[in-house]
Amino acid sequence: MEIVSINVGLPKTIMYQGKELVTGIYKYPVSSSLRVSRTQLDGDGQADLTLHGGADKALCVYPKEHYAHWEQVLAQKLEAGTFGENLTVRGLLEDQVCIGDIYAIDDVIVQVSQPRQPCHKLAKRLDWADAVLQVQETGYTGYYLRVLTEGVISKNAEVKLIARDEAGVTVAYANQIKYHEKANIEAAQQIAAIQALSVSWKQSFLKRLAELGA
């Protein structure tokens, strides 16, 4: 388990189909070590703080293994950070990582908080209208980390598992229930009960359960 690239970028204004759009999805690899606080990496920023960033989404992670698939689909080479992730990683796939798992990255301690839920800005970043749906369909979403212990992350850092969450709910499984098995009450209850789950995802599943009469 390792970090392939550390990526940061501040919000900027772009033109898309004749309209201005402010977005922080453009992240670029850096060679230096960076300090990470409870809410973000130094030099990084988000445009819409109601949906991105904050304690539950301090770091966005995306597996390097998925890049080959998207490069084939889009017929182009993609640089690390293309999916707006802060950490491009290897050996930490969605079906291996559980919500609530705790990892050490150098002296930084982090915890998996939720799957990454792509928004329309990814579609604009890739100039591909179907991007969000395709990410959800494949399950190649990546995920978010909250920072339990602040510190400095280096590009060559190893990622070590410290503790596996007792619920054992993988990011891949959470995605499956979120997007494909929407009437699965038992699974929704299981996911909503995870103590480490982000506030936004917990609220989303509780709302679904209420709508299902559970």
139 phi/psi in degrees, rounded to 5: 80, 5
Q: What is the pLDDT of residue 14?
A: 79
Q: What is the pLDDT of residue 46?
A: 76
pTM score, whole prediction: 0.93
* Tens digits of residue pLDDT in 63-78: 999 999 999 999 999 9
Residue located via tokens 């201005």: 20
Q: What is the pLDDT of residue 47?
A: 62
142 neighbors 61 (Cβ within 8 angstroms): yes
Q: What is the pLDDT of residue 119?
A: 79
117 contact partners, CB below 8 Å, separation of at least 6? 141, 178
Q: What is the pLDDT of residue 45?
A: 78
78 phi/psi in degrees, rounded to 5: -115, 130
**DSSP tag of 188:** H
Q: What is the pLDDT of residue 48?
A: 66
Beta bridge partners of 145: 59, 112
Which uninterrupted H or E stretch holds 137?
A: helix 131-138
SS3 181: coil
Q: What is the pLDDT of residue 99?
A: 98
Neighbours of 172 (CB within 10 A): 18
Task: Determine the Cα–Cα distance for residues 203 and 12; give it in Å rounded to an integer.
Answer: 30
* Tens digits of residue pLDDT in 143-190: 999 999 999 999 888 899 999 999 999 999 999 999 999 999 999 999
Q: Which residues of the chain have pLDDT under 70?
A: 47-53
127 neighbors 199 (Cβ within 8 angstroms): no
Residue type, 180: H
112 neighbors 196 (Cβ within 8 angstroms): yes
